[in-house]
Each structure stands twice: as C-alpha cells, then as structure tokens.
Amino acid sequence: MTESGTGNGTVGGLTVGYAAMLEQFHPTEAVELSALAEEHGFSGVMAADHYQPWVPAQGQAAFVWNVLTAIGERTRGDMGPGVTAPTFRWHPAMVAQASATLAAMYPGRHWLGLGSGEALNEHVVAGYWPEAPERINRMFEAIDIIKKLFSSSLAGKDVKHAGQFYKLESTRLWTMPEVAPEILVATAGPVTAKRAGRVADGLITVGAPLEKISGLFQKFDDGAREAGRDPGSMPKVLQLHLSWAETDEQALANAMHEWPNGGMKFPKADIRSPFDFEQMAKLVRPEDFEGRMVISADPDVHRAEIQKYVDLGFDRVYLHNVGRNQREWIEVFGRDVLPKLAR
C-alpha cells in the first residue's frame, strides 16, 4: 500500500484506486489505463475475475491473474482481484497459489478479494449450481483452506484438509511472500459480513444505501470482536460504479448501453448468460439507476457522493466509470475530484 501523504491517491489514510474493468476493455488497454490512472493520482487497482462479461456490449473477459501481473509491472500501488470465487471454477488451493505468487512478485502490494461466486462465471465448468447458503458455506470453507496454506507454508510445513466440500492432500505452497496477502471478503449481506469479521482481514462491498452499508459494518465489527480482533484495524473496501461524461445525456447513454446491470434491482447470481442479461437490460429505465449509481457530468456531484462513503468509514475506494471515455474521466477526476476528498 502507498503511504499517507505521498500525493499518490492517498489522503489522510484514504486510498482511492482505479477499477480496471476486464469485462469492458482488452487486457492490454486495461493495463495501460491502470498505469494512466496512477499517473493522475489514483492509487491501486481492483479487477474482477470474470469468465464472461455481464452483457455482450461490454465485450471482454480477460484472465484476471495475467492482467494483475502486468499491472504490477506498470504501477506501484496495491492490487487485487475484487473479487474471485475460490469455490467452483477454482479449487481453493489454486487461488492460494495464484495469490501467493503475485504477493511474492510484488511484496506488500497484493490483497486477495474473495466472494461466493455468480453463475455467469462459475457455471461454465458444468457443475451443480447451489443456492446462496451453500455457496456462502463453500466460500468460508475455501477461506479456511487458503488461510491454512498461507500459514503452514510460511512455517515450512505441509497441511491437509478434509471438509464438507473440499479435500486437500498433504502439501504446501513452495513460493510464498514474506507476509501472506490480506484476505478481503465481498458481501452485501449481514450474516455473511459477521462471519467475514471472524475470519477475514477486511470487507469489500459495492455502492448501496448508506444505512445498509452501516449495518454491514456493524455486523462485520461484531464478528471481528467475537474473534478477539480489532475491527478498527481491518480495511473496509468499496467498489463504486458511476457514470461521468461531458454531458448528462452522454453519461446516461453510457450507463444504459455499457452498464445496464447497474440498473437491475434484483439478485443476479443465478443468471448464466450475457445474452440473458442483454434481454433483461431492455427493461432497464433511466430512473432505475437512482440511488444505485450517480450519473452526472458534474465532477462535484460525484465528489459529494464519494465523500459520503468515505465519511461512513471506507478506507479504500475503487472507482469505475462505466463509459468508454476512460482517459478523459481519469484526467478530470484526477484533477477535480481526488484532491478534494477528505478522510
């Protein structure tokens, strides 16, 4: 992580990073944009592990670990998959190996964001797709395996596991960083947030009504305290989608075409195909984004929205402008928004 006061996207302990959307941009361009964002004051990069885009119009789905490695070469800030699911396409041991390798290559910069998965990405290996409670239980067992692998490998010992969902024969990670990566759990639900507080190092969530997020924080903190941990020292991370363009009309058009999933007011974890999402996108109306995503040509409107989340207690915020106008947006926000945010 960059230190406070470096002038590189970090102000008073707040880190504002760039969300590199591998669903929208060719990996080469995603790397270039990440480097450009850092030049303009963003610090750190979040990129999601997608096998498919949400809708065909987004058009890409690069392999996140390759792209993060390239980003590591071109930037100096933190980076992580926000998020990957260590549960269906991946055995947890493989996610642990990928994460440990990245952390060994870029010491102190990599964090591991984990979630319970979405059918859009996970169904491609043709496994059974369970309901949410089982998906969440799988994720927490996977976290247990990853933590065991990290701790035992640092101690130079083998570890094994036999659980409800996974088996791991005696092994260790032979390539490890000096310090294991932070494990951050993505959740929008209070029960999962409390469990995450007990076992994870931090929380990731997406933009939502402030009262809902405040409740998530409370549950996460409760879980941390139950485990004898200090929630004040555990990062709370936000991915915030927004649409900025030179006019309000263009900002809205970008949201409707590029990110209609942001206006879908229903759970999306069971939908399997970008083409199904495309059909559902026809039902999205401009008013569906209200309260879910700021759409405006005024940088100060966006700054005020980001500041609300910072005031609520987020330590790291990764911004995603949904349009293709990334370079213009990076320049404008680097100049007119990031310097005005205050922790």
List the CATH number of the domain containing 32.
Answer: 3.20.20.30
34 and 115 in one domain?
A: no
Domain boundary, last residue among 179, 194, 210: 179
The two beta strands, 167-171 and 159-162, are antiparallel
Q: Give the model confidence (pLDDT) of 151-182 as tens digits.
A: 999 999 999 999 999 999 999 999 999 999 99
Q: Is residue 250 part of a domain?
A: yes
pLDDT of residue 177: 98
11 and 90 in one domain?
A: no
Do residues 315 and 237 make contact, with C-beta atoms less than 8 angstroms apart? yes
Give the span between the Cα atoms of 202 and 13, in whole angstroms.
15
What are phi and psi for residue 255, nearest 5 degrees? -65, -45
Q: Mean pLDDT throughout 74-86? A: 97
What are the tokens at 307?
Answer: 């500041």
Domain residues for the domain of 110 are: 83-179
Give the span between the Cα atoms of 189 and 208, in whole angstroms.
11
What are the tokens at 275?
Answer: 């083409």
137 and 66 in one domain?
A: no
Arithmetic mean of pLDDT over the chain: 95
169 and 135 in one domain?
A: yes
Q: Mean pLDDT throughout 244-270? A: 97
Domain boundary, last residue among 179, 195, 210: 179
pLDDT of residue 4: 32
Q: Mean pLDDT throughout 111-137? A: 97
Do residues 343 and 13 make contact, with C-beta atoms less than 8 angstroms apart? yes
91 and 51 in one domain?
A: no
Q: Is residue 321 part of a domain?
A: yes
Q: Is residue 204 part of a domain?
A: no
Is the model's pLDDT at 9 over the cut of 90?
no
SS3 337: coil
Q: Residue 306 corresponds to which amino acid?
A: I
109 and 38 in one domain?
A: no
pLDDT of residue 277: 98
pLDDT of residue 343: 82
Q: Mean pLDDT throughout 193-211? A: 96
Q: Mean pLDDT throughout 82-94? A: 97
Q: Mean pLDDT throughout 231-249? A: 97
94 and 68 in one domain?
A: no
Name which residue leads in pLDDT, 14 or 198. Answer: 198
By percentage, how much of the chain surpasses pLDDT 90? 94
Is the model's pLDDT at 3 over the cut of 60?
no
Domain boundary, last residue among 148, 179, 210: 179
SS3 240: strand
Site of tokens 């947890």: 92
Q: Mean pLDDT throughout 205-213? A: 93
pLDDT grade for 5, boundaries at 50, 70 and 90: very low
Burial of 230 (0-12, 13-18, 19+ CB in 10 A): exposed
What are phi and psi for residue 81, nearest 5 degrees? -80, 115
DSSP letters, 51-93, are: SS-SSTTT-----HHHHHHHHHHH--S-EEES-B-TTTTS-HH
256 and 168 in one domain?
A: no
Do residues 260 and 237 make contact, with C-beta atoms less than 8 angstroms apart? no
Give the span between the Cα atoms of 43 and 14, in whole angstroms.
10
**End-to-end CA, the chain:** 17
pLDDT of residue 8: 46
326 and 258 in one domain?
A: yes
List CB contacts of 101: < 8 A, sequence separation 6 or more.
Answer: 175
What are the tokens at 185?
Answer: 């759990």
pLDDT of residue 10: 53
164 and 89 in one domain?
A: yes
| CA distances (Å), origin 213, targets 195, 224, 240, 318 | 16, 16, 13, 16
According to DSSP, the residues that pair with 161 across neighbouring strands are 168
Q: Is residue 189 part of a domain?
A: no
pLDDT grade for 281, boundaries at 50, 70 and 90: very high
Q: Mean pLDDT throughout 222-238? A: 97
329 and 239 in one domain?
A: yes
Q: Mean pLDDT throughout 208-218? A: 95
What are phi and psi for residue 149, nearest 5 degrees? -65, -45
Give the span between the Cα atoms of 68 and 18, in whole angstroms.
13
Q: Is residue 114 part of a domain?
A: yes
115 and 144 in one domain?
A: yes
Catalytic residues: 50, 118
